[in-house]
Structure 1
Amino acid sequence: MGALALASGLGVAAGGTAQAAAAARVDNPFAGARMYVNPDWAAHAAAEPGGSAVAGQPTAVWLDRIAAINGTGGAMGLRAHLDKALAQGANLVQFVIYDLPGRDCAALASNGELGPTDLARYQTEYIDPIAAIMADPAYANLRIVNVIEPDSLPNLVTNAGGTAGSTEACATMKANGNYEKGVGYALHKLGSLGNTYNYVDAGHHGWLGWDSNLGPSAQELYKAATSNGATVDDVTGFIVNTANYSATVEKNFKVTDSVNGTTVRQSKWVDWNQYVDEQSYALGLRDKLIATGFPASIGMLVDTSRNGWGGSARPSGPGPLTSVDAYVDGGRLDRRIHAGNWCNQSGAGLGERPVASPAPNIDAYVWVKPPGESDGASSAVANDEGKGFDRMCDPTYTGNARNGNNLTGALPNAPLAGHWFSAQFQELLKNAYPPVTGGGGDTQAPSVPTGLKSTGTTSSSVSLSWTASTDDTGVTAYDVYRGATKIGTTAGTSYTDTGLTAATAYSYTVKARDAAGNTSAASTALSVTTAPSGGGSGCTAAYTVTNSWGTGFTADVTVKAGGSAVTSWKVTWTFGGDQRITNAWSTTATQSGQAVSAVNVDYNGSLAAGGSTTFGFQGTYSGTNAVPTLTCTAG
């Protein structure tokens, strides 16, 4: 086969200024993060039978009224949570910014304290104090993730324009523009801080997944993100399925399937939607957002706190091929009566545990809605929180246009939104997928560690680091392997292998182990070459597969100078299978057959002694995807 030339398209300029900026803000704040566990939520979870198995999971803290900033009803306030995050040794903490004027205009259960015209109060009494606390230098090393105003902007798309689901309150918010102004103000104020990461709520596929909604949603999100001082640079990304129940990935059917000539889109459940799950919706919306004007760096989050749909009702495969409805209804993971049902759903379960980078352009699966916190009261409850009674939380209500006039599927005897609902937590625990054993710990092995890389080499040592794996009971140790031999165990996410031979290639993998003795599969192997004897000139290169899916993958290569500065470099290797590079960045790469050559581009060829740079590429394969042995030549 002929050579394929690939010019560099991306990269970070060398030099102190660019490196300082990169150190201050990362592309994906969840990657490599130690996530904060809210002790208020953890205490509730641990007090439930079997709840200790998941009480260590990170969840978001909802700032749902002005008083919540300083703490209410014995619950900690914003500053107390940030202080506790530091005490835990965490470096990422999640908050939900949730007090817009006329909040959640289509759902009475989550109404708030501020009226439709209270924009000034929202700005000065709510956002400004939050921004002032987050700006405290004491928290400068925390990555503060803010989920901005769930349900607000999606309501402007579907519930404010005279459609069957429209409400007078939503029409008012669309007319006065306070939702857009409020979101814009929050993005601007919080985005101006160097360590905050704003993710704007973008509904879910069962709300905005239709062609008629997706484009207008992207336009509405862009309008808000460029309102009241905000720019698209204040947005790290978007979150889908916040506090909802839609399946992350529908495994038993695809939107392109047909049954006897009838497409899945025509089934009653899918109802002509373009998407059947949250991950595909998130990525489809991301494409629309980038086309609308958001930068290609935006990432997506999926709230997986209550979309596990496990237990005995979980289908093991597609439904029968007797009709498209039988095929979809028999196989769908989401067992709600209707996708428009949103309140305290019967049969729901805990979903995928929080984890960074589970798929390309998905920054993380997160638990933004803390499991066990009610969606709303099942009957009217007097309160001073501004929360009303929504019939969608009443299990006897026969529904409305937004849920196809079906029963709500809500659990009975539910408290106010945000209050602890023990019966719901037990339901989620029982139906969790991946499953959880009551009180005995999670039956799942830990997740595979990711991001294994070399952080330094000498002629006799290799220093490694990796991203912590996330599982239900918590990883207690990592086992490090050189080739097939375990060479050490560490409780941290770094390790230095010593006593090595100069200028020699070594292959490393890491496994995670939990307190119950469950061990993960091995991480992707990393090949590292020690420096020449005495740390002399030359360079080394380390290869890491950063992601893989189906027949595709991405990989990074880190080039490091030896004991002397270099002015250029070239990395070569031979693939062991049929891997083909389709796109590369921060290098000019050529491939002929299995042989690959990658050379520096103009901005990353010069490296100081011991300095390093990274390039990457995307590729395809159909067989194995083993890590090749690299050779680095310096100029």
Structure 2
Amino acid sequence: MSPLPKNPRRRLTTVALAAACATAAAGAWAVAGGTASAGTVTGSLYRDPDTAAARWVAANPNDSRTAVIRDKVASQASSRWLSNFNLSTVQAEVSGYVSAANALGQIPQLTLYGIPNRDCGGASAGGAPDLATYQTWIGNISRGLGSQTVLILLEPDSIALQTCLSAGEITARDAALRSATQTIKGANANAKVYLDAGHSTWNAAGVQASRLIASGVADADGFYTNVSNFNATANEAAYGRSVLSSLSGQGVAGKHQVIDTSRNGGAAGDWCGDDNTDRRIGQYPTTATNDANIDAYLWVKPPGEADGCAYAAGSFQPNLAYSLASAAPNPPATTPPTTVPTTAPTTAPTTAPTTAPTTAPTTAPTTTPPATAGCSAAYQTTSTWSGGFQGQVTVKAGSSAIAGWTVTWTLGTGQTITQAWNGELTTSGSAATVRNVSWNGALAAGATAQFGFLANGTATTPAVTCTSR
């Protein structure tokens, strides 16, 4: 998920922020040890050796930031996001990831982020074109989960954020989440499924509990909170207890909480700011929570992946990772991953969501060579399905800063765009035009921005043109 700079739900109030910082300062980086008394999960979390952070470290051995990012970020377990909607490859991707974790006796963590109308059309918009296709995607994922323990964080923001949905759309989404949970649990009885509960400074606990029940939490293992946010762990745990109490009062007992601690280690500032350079990592990931209500502290949102404010949503930014980790204590001693990336990355992740890409693009980018000034644009098809596809365009400033950009291309025969994000779309016949929105138009020399869209029809590789102002 990539939280929006314009989402007020993500900004803490002054009072809440002060409380969060005070709590964080009192012990945000405490390392849990011993045997976990976490409800139902014990064991070592899977540390993927091929994360965006690990690839950056492998490609930049002499950078002054490398040691900190290597030791405090790339060495840690974080969730793999499934957000690049691709029906044809997701099962193989899940199977490969889960099998690698199983081979090491570790617990994989997957964040599923493909619900239609994702993020209410904001910086992380996209996902499945409709709920029927979404269920097909869930089924394909489920067939790759194996039979051992796997942690599933199902659809961040899908329950806490409903402001863009009608009553009928809420009912349909609730049914889709309930069906997704049942499908996953039916495919792997050892899968632990957690639903979205927002965070402690968003919806009231009673409201969130009622929404969780409507979305099928009775069939799940519990809920997660604080994804991509900065509320202190103690505040989230207290909020979780209130939600659990409300669930129990409404006849749903025995559930547990997961807390995202990837960015809640203290420091002040606005939610977006300079893409979180004023924040710090919190508790290192572990199932040893020593709290009977909490199954795990996870890094659901990998540190260093941008939120779409100063940088493209989902792209790994080493300065963000370094800022988050530089003041943190060293993590507890662990066994490093058994393999390292075999290739260095050639580009930053390019998915429209706030997550690193989870599948390879189905077409290679077609890039207009950068001019000495102005801007260039590169198109790629990021996923396809029967009757439709998802496209993405990367805009890059030339040798001089630009104040705004406009990208144009010609739609193929039978193509119609049904949704766009991170840009203002207009169409006239077969001509498509996307202009920057207020927060991603001004680009420094060499800087990039991305926008994406969903379309009906057969995917093609159009020539895209960028003009600047």
Q: By the TM > 0.5 criterion, same fold?
A: yes
Structure 2: which amino acid aligns with 1:420? F
Relative to structure 1, the CA distance from residue 182 to residue 355 in structure 2 (aligned partners, 3 Å threshold; closer, same or farther) is: same
Query: Residue in 2 aligned with 1:220?
Result: 211
Residues 474 and 127 (structure 1 numbering): CA distance in 2 closer, same or farther, change over 3 Å?
A: same
Give the 3 Å change call, closer, same or farther, for CA 57–129 of structure 1 in structure 2: same
1:130 aligns with 2:148: no
CA distance in 1, matches of 2:316, 2:206: 37
The TM-score, its normalising length taken from structure 2, stands at 0.57
Instruction: Determine the structure 1 residue equivalent to 2:110.
Output: 95
Cα distance in 1 for residues equivalent to 2:125 and 2:322: 26
Q: CA offsets, 1:558-601, max 9 Å, x none? A: xxxxxxxxxxxxxxxxxxxxxxxxxxxxxxxxxxxxxxxxxxxx
Match of 2:82 in 1: 63
Structure 2, gaps ≥5 residues long: 1-36, 59-64, 337-469
Match among 314, 321, 327 for residue 418 of structure 1 = 314
The structural deviation recorded for 1:199 is 0.8
Deviations 1:159-205 (A, max 9, x none): x2xxxxxxxxx134764633212211111101222111101110011
Q: Which residue of structure 1 lines up, in the alignment, with residue 228 of structure 2?
A: 243
1:5-20 equivalences under 5 Å are none
1:336 aligns with 2:269: yes
Question: Which structure shows the bigger proportion of residues in strand conformation?
Answer: 1
Question: In structure 1, how many angstroms separate the alpha carbons of the residues matched to 2:242 and 2:131?
Answer: 32
Q: What displacement does 1:290 show?
A: 1.7
Alignment of 1:78-117 (within 5 A): 78-87=94-103, 89-105=104-120, 108-115=122-129
- For the 8 Å contact 2:38–2:296, the answer to whether it is kept is no
- Whether 2:61 is the aligned partner of 1:34: answer no
SS of the aligned residue for 2:118 comes to: coil
Q: How many angstroms does 1:363 deviate by? A: 1.5
- Identify which of structures 1 and 2 has the higher relative contact order when contacts are C-alpha pairs closer than 8 Å and 6+ apart: 2
Aligned to 2:151: 145
Question: Is residue 120 from structure 1 mapped to residue 132 from structure 2 by the alignment?
Answer: yes
1:558 counterpart residue number: none
Which runs of 5 or more residues in structure 1 are unaligned? Answer: 1-25, 161-169, 226-230, 250-276, 310-333, 377-392, 394-411, 436-441, 443-470, 477-635
> Does the CA contact (< 8 Å) of 1:65 and 1:113 recur in 2?
yes
Matched, 1:369 2:301: yes
Q: 1:199 aligns to what SS in structure 2?
A: strand
Contact 1:64 1:97 survives alignment (8 Å):
yes
Over the aligned positions, Cα root-mean-square deviation in angstroms equals: 2.6
CA separation of 1:350 and 1:27: change in aligned 2, threshold 3 A: closer
Q: Distance in 2 between matches of 1:27 and 1:236?
A: 12
Question: Conserved in 2, the CA contact under 8 Å of 1:29 and 1:92?
Answer: no
Match of 1:294 in 2: 252
The answer to whether the aligner puts 1:430 opposite 2:442 as a matched pair is: no
Larger radius of gyration: 1
The corresponding residue for 2:334 is 474
Number of residue pairs the alignment of both structures matches: 289
Deviations 1:483-518 (A, max 9, x none): xxxxxxxxxxxxxxxxxxxxxxxxxxxxxxxxxxxx
Q: Following the alignment from structure 1 to structure 2, what is the Cα–Cα distance between the partners of residues 69 and 349?
A: 38
* TM-score (structure 1 length as normaliser): 0.43
Q: Shift of residue 475 of structure 1?
A: 6.1
Identity of aligned residues (%): 29
C-alpha distance in 2, partners of 1:190/1:336? 38
After superposition, the Cα gap between the structure-2 partners of 1:343 and 1:90, relative to the gap in structure 1 and judged at 3 Å, is farther
Output the CA distance in 1 between the equivalents of 2:248 and 2:86. Answer: 37
Rounded to whole Å, the distance in 2 between the matches of 1:102 and 1:302 is: 24
**Partner in structure 2 of residue 304 of structure 1:** 261
Q: Does 1:353 find its partner at 2:284?
A: yes
Task: Give me the whole-angstrom Cα distance separating, in 2, the residues matched to 1:172 and 1:427.
Answer: 40
Q: C-alpha deviations, 1:37-73, integer Å up to 9, x for none?
A: 112215236345122213221111101133287369x
Give yes or no for the alignment of 1:180 onto 2:174. Answer: yes
